[in-house]
Amino acid sequence: MADGWEWDATLFAGAAPHYARGRLPYAPGLADELARALRLDGTGRLLDVGCGPGTLALELADRFAETVGLDADADMVAEAARTAERTGLAGRTRWVHARAEQLPLGLGLFDVAAFAQSFHWMERDQVAATVRDMLRPGGVLVHLSDWKAEPRSTDPLPHRPVPQPAIDALVRRHLGPVRRAGRGVLPHGTPGGESLVYARAGLIGPEQLIVPGGRPLERSADEVVAGVLSLSSSAPHLFGTGLPTFETELRALLRGASPSGRFSVRQPGSEAVLWRKPER
């Protein structure tokens, strides 16, 4: 993990009810692209490590015989289970509340394991080695994130942009100048360089799969507020009793930025990096 920072269970405390509504979706077509690249045929098993409210696991669940989502935040797992129930996927999904560091937990072998915007929060060498052992020979590890190198479109947007610099300044005014995470601070952010970690674990890759984004998405003020509260750096627990004041000020800021209450953002592209476990 990041130097001097220690993981604790408050990392996403209070974020779960805001997550699915607040976060931008992965690029449309991602599930089809992964299904093609991984030759998914409705059999096999998927392990989604740090699954959150089931964002990726639920997108892919009908392409596997069984999907196991694991997350360290109990409320995230509960959200995922509720959505699975509501969408008819409960029968082929299983949700585990545990830290990735506790794996393998007797969960058996998997054809595909995924880390979707979650690996940077983990003891990476330990977790990568364990998850490699949980893959069947020839199985694939998928590291998923927003496509950061996507060329930025300059086409006009139908609504005002989300006033991100002003939101960031408001968060800093409430939580201090240094990025918060759980009970600690992350002045230099989370670690990168995960390719070296996967290679050290003996996985073969990388194979990059890009699904472009770019089209404008419309966001309501409620969705923007939920997006802010879904982040580890501005999760509800960090505000303590100041949460209602923060939310009131955030909503006033959003009203000032867009009197219509509508905002435009660009759909982020998605980048999946595939790492294969050798056949022998």
Q: Contact positions toward ligand SAM, by CB under 6 A?
A: 7, 11-12, 23, 50-52, 55-56, 71-73, 76, 99-101, 116-118, 121-122
Q: Do 277 and 133 contact (CB within 8 A), yes or no?
A: no
In the bound state with ligand SAM, the residue whose beta carbon lies nearer, of 126 and 264, is 126
CA 252 to chain centre: 28
- Minimum separation from the CB atom of position 65 to ligand SAM (A): 21
- Minimum separation from the CB atom of position 115 to ligand SAM (A): 8
Task: Compute φ and ψ for 217, nearest 5 degrees.
Answer: -115, 145
- Minimum separation from the CB atom of position 126 to ligand SAM (A): 10
In the bound state with ligand SAM, the residue whose beta carbon lies nearer, of 41 and 125, is 125
Long-range contacts of 90-93 (CB under 8 A, 24+ apart): 92/61, 92/62, 92/64, 92/65, 92/66, 92/67, 93/54, 93/57, 93/58, 93/61, 93/66, 93/67, 93/68, 93/69
- Minimum separation from the CB atom of position 18 to ligand SAM (A): 12
In the bound state with ligand SAM, the residue whose beta carbon lies nearer, of 119 and 258, is 119
In the bound state with ligand SAM, the residue whose beta carbon lies nearer, of 56 and 209, is 56
Tokens of 199: 């290679």
H runs (alpha helix) in the chain: 16-22, 30-37, 55-60, 74-86, 124-134, 164-175, 194-200, 221-229, 243-257
Tokens 């409705």 -> residue? 42
Task: Compute φ and ψ for 112, nearest 5 degrees.
Answer: -140, 140
In the bound state with ligand SAM, the residue whose beta carbon lies nearer, of 10 and 220, is 10
User: Which residue is closest to ligand SAM by CB?
Assistant: 52
Write out the H or E segment, with its range, that includes residue 115: strand 110-116
Nearest in space to 147 (alpha carbons), one of 267, 274, 2: 267
- Minimum separation from the CB atom of position 238 to ligand SAM (A): 15
Provide the b/e sequence for 17-37 (b: ≥16 CB within 10 Å).
bbbbbbbeebbeebbeebbee
- Minimum separation from the CB atom of position 20 to ligand SAM (A): 8
In the bound state with ligand SAM, the residue whose beta carbon lies nearer, of 105 and 253, is 105
Q: Annotate 10-34 with DSSP letters as a single string.
A: TTTTTTHHHHHHHSPPPPTTHHHHH
- Minimum separation from the CB atom of position 99 to ligand SAM (A): 4
In the bound state with ligand SAM, the residue whose beta carbon lies nearer, of 232 and 258, is 232
